[in-house]
Amino acid sequence: MTTVGVLGATGAVGQRFVQLLAGHETFELSVVTASPDSAGETYRDAANWGLDTPVPESIAELPVQPTTPAAIPDDTALLFSALPSDVGAEVEPALCEAGFVVSSNASNERRAGDVPLVVPEVNADHLGLIDVQRDARGWDGALVKNPNCSTITMVPTLAALTEFGLDRVHVATLQAVSGAGYSGVTSMEILDNVVPHIGGEERKMETESRKLLGEFTGAEVQHHDAVVSASCNRVPTLDGHLENVFVETSDHPAPADVAAAFEDAPTLDLPSAPDPLIETFTAPERPQPRLDRMRGDGMAIAAGGIQTTDTGIQYNCLAHNTIRGAAGASILNGELLAREGWV
């Protein structure tokens, strides 16, 4: 078993990490950290557990550690980060400098030229940037990121469509409240309502998508030249981001060609990798968040509503935002790091 830890283990995404790692077949969770206020408490007491399965007994009595390099045992092979981005920006580099490998969901440094931003089924080869990062920063450890939840929902479908020549993408999102965290939006703000703004989300989708679809030259990632435009909206669903995607391609595939490309999307032999990666529906009213967010144990992308338009193709896609879009994504990156010998 590989010994792992979770940084920021008491928040909404941190709890998802704990839930998913408790039964993991190759990772053993032995360290949980949180803010200094919770340090020293048991995980059970420190976490205001909000998931619909009990706090895992194997983790409940672990003492919560402060999020500092000195508090992490040296034999922790891999750290998963659910830290807020401002804390991540401060702590993650210090941990990498101290020799730890960090698979992070936090948004800091996702755009940095020497930080791999990875969805294993799309761009596993970008992990090669770790050598560039170590040379540039003098680290023995490494920092690897997964993208924002709304990006990760769409990018596997775009990767499947690159064979048709991806020119331009427009996307409108309908994002669940869990994406904002436990105290992100109040009930008075979101019930009977839609909020047509999620701070910073649109630019994240636009830049992260192009980096993920880019080409790793051995020295850098050359971003894909498709134009990506996003409009992001918060809706009153609990989990599961639904997205309406409009794609202009150089070729003009029929809906059946698009469905076939989705069905052929690559799958990986890793514990958390779903098979198939993209589940495609023919019923035009699918996918839907409540019905389809747990496809592939929350790790699959659901797609449907494929149609041709005057300018290209249109479809809807959906993923569980705190599993495939956050904790599950980091864990899958960790599984890839382990398989490729980086930990």
Distance of CA 231 to the CA centre of its chain: 19
Cβ proximity of 72 and 35 under 8 Å: no
Residue 262, both tokens: 């989705």
Could you say which of 38, 123, 237, 321 contacts ligand LTNE7NMQ (CB under 6 A)?
A: 321
Output the DSSP codes for 174-189: EE-GGGG-TTSS-HHH
Q: Number of residues interacting with ligand LTNE7NMQ: please give it, by CB under 6 A.
A: 11
Active site residue 197: no
3-class DSSP state of 219:
coil
Cβ proximity of 30 and 4 under 8 Å: yes
Could you say which of 156, 325, 328, 334 contacts ligand LTNE7NMQ (CB under 6 A)?
A: 325
Q: Which is nearer to ligand LTNE7NMQ, 19 or 150 (CB)?
A: 150
Q: Which is nearer to ligand LTNE7NMQ, 132 or 230 (CB)?
A: 230
Residues numbered 187-246 forming contacts with ligand LTNE7NMQ, rule: CB under 6 A: 198, 201
Nearest approach in angstroms of CB 201 to ligand LTNE7NMQ is: 5
Residues numbered 133-192 forming contacts with ligand LTNE7NMQ, rule: CB under 6 A: 148-150, 175, 179-180
- Print burial letters for 37-68: b (CB count within 10 Å at least 16), e (below 16): ebbeebbbebbebeeeeebbeebbebebbbbe
**C-alpha–C-alpha distance, residues 45 and 71, integer Å:** 19
Nearest residue (beta carbon) to ligand LTNE7NMQ: 179
Nearest approach in angstroms of CB 202 to ligand LTNE7NMQ is: 11
HSE (CB half, 13 Å, CA atoms) of 248? 11
- Active-site pick, 126, 224, 232, 241: 241
Sheet strand arrangement including 301-308: 227-234, 166-175, 241-249, 313-319, 301-308, 278-280
Nearest approach in angstroms of CB 319 to ligand LTNE7NMQ is: 10
Nearest approach in angstroms of CB 266 to ligand LTNE7NMQ is: 24
> CA angle 133-110-92, nearest 5°?
65
Q: Which is nearer to ligand LTNE7NMQ, 94 or 195 (CB)?
A: 195
Q: Using CB under 6 A as the criterion, what x/- string covers residues 241-280 for binding ligand LTNE7NMQ? A: ----------------------------------------
**C-alpha–C-alpha distance, residues 159 and 227, integer Å:** 14
Active site residue 241: yes
3-class DSSP state of 298:
helix
**C-alpha–C-alpha distance, residues 142 and 253, integer Å:** 40
Q: Which is nearer to ligand LTNE7NMQ, 133 or 178 (CB)?
A: 178
- Active-site pick, 96, 149, 232, 317: 149
Closest alpha carbon to 280 in 260, 250, 294: 260
Question: Which one of the spans 131-139, 160-168, 270-278, 318-326 is the region binding ligand LTNE7NMQ (CB under 6 A)?
Answer: 318-326
Nearest approach in angstroms of CB 241 to ligand LTNE7NMQ is: 6
Residues designated as active site: 149, 241
Q: Which residues bind ligand LTNE7NMQ (CB under 6 A)?
A: 148-150, 175, 179-180, 198, 201, 321, 325-326
